[in-house]
Amino acid sequence: MNYFRTAILLAGLTGLFMGVGFLIGGGNGAMIALLIAGAMNLFAYWNSDKMVLSMHGAQEVDAATVPDLYAMVSELSQRAGLPMPKVYLMHNPQPNAFATGRNPQNSAVAVTTGLLQQLNRDEVAGVVAHELAHIANRDTLIMTITATIAGAISMLGNFAMFSGMGGNRDNNNGMGMIGTIAMMILAPLAAMLVQMAISRTREYAADNLGAQISGQPLALASALARISNAAHAIPNDTAERSPATAHMFIINPLSGARMDNLFSTHPATENRIAALQQMAGGAGQSYAQPQAYPPGGPWGGQTAGRRPSAAPSGGPWGNATRRGPWG
């Protein structure tokens, strides 16, 4: 089903890309856009994850640089029955995270330094489990390719405005400059609507499975509330420059000051929290509580939710964050 959804999405975005090309350059523009879209789809399948990680300045980390986070991802991946993904850190003060990759064997989880500094361990575990759920549900391919093509559609609209090609006489529908202006407004909006359509049910499903993986739905609910509040107060400049990637994050990273955030790519945080609270209330019926972490697990043998007696130099997340939630 996920492969079918991916095919339908790619066909829809390719058609939209061709429509923009037609408005810019008529029949020739549509054909050129089709060729570009075909090449872009192929390139995005193999390289879009690297592009998105690079776009957000994500740096790969390991057990030596951020030991506690790396161990946490490893343990939760085992719980989820997934291969160990690559772990990336984004030096960004806004708490947030996303997952990417074309399949579970080629996947990555990226978190911000703000997430590690402002959330406690249980909350971070809930966020990581949510992102692993996206990988398990094979959402990451569709998320990443959507970001790539939606960004290209927006760029094509801007190109039309500055190139003046909207008045091309080859444009058989005669819309000219009016068509160009309409395309500049409607094309990015249409791409955004596609992002919204695939985001709503996907986020609820990842919250549900993520809560099962971590075993703590209320910790994930708390994390969503804290990230949502921080997203409005702490700007994510990288995401603001690349709004087409906003749907990839666990919470919309855009401040809302731009038109890009007029239609949110995420369900209402309050509704997601309510669903998790309902899940916690019926935990005995809806899923089995996971076994306790073994000694030396991702929380260093400490009971979940308790502060450790001593944190290693640079905080429990290692030196990469400069200070940790316990620092």
pLDDT over 60 at 323, yes or no: no
Q: How far is CA 134 from the centre of its chain?
A: 9
Per-residue pLDDT at 322 = 45
> What is the tens place of the pLDDT at every residue in 107-165?
999 999 999 999 999 999 999 999 999 999 988 877 777 766 666 666 666 665 555 54
> What is the tens place of the pLDDT at every residue in 54-73?
999 999 999 999 999 999 99
* Structure tokens, 273: 């929290």
Q: Measured between alpha carbons, how far is 98 from 111 in angstroms, rounded to an integer?
A: 7
CA atoms within 13 A on the CB side of 201: 6
From first CA to last CA, the distance across the chain in angstroms is 45
- Mean pLDDT confidence for 23-28: 69
pLDDT over 50 at 295, yes or no: no
Whether 52 and 248 have beta carbons less than 8 Å apart is answered as: yes
Catalytic hit among 60, 123, 131, 270: 131
DSSP 190-206: HHHHHHHHHHHHHHHHH
75 is catalytic: no
Angle (deg, nearest 10), helices 121-136 and 67-80: 50
Q: How confident is the model at residue 24 (pLDDT cuts 50, 70, 90)?
A: low
pLDDT over 60 at 276, yes or no: yes
> What is the tens place of the pLDDT at every residue in 68-121?
999 999 999 999 999 999 999 999 999 999 999 989 999 999 999 999 999 999
DSSP 21-56: HHHHHHHHHHHHHHHHHHHHHHHHHHHHHHHHHHHT
User: What does residue 97 show for φ and ψ, rounded to 5 degrees?
Assistant: -165, 160
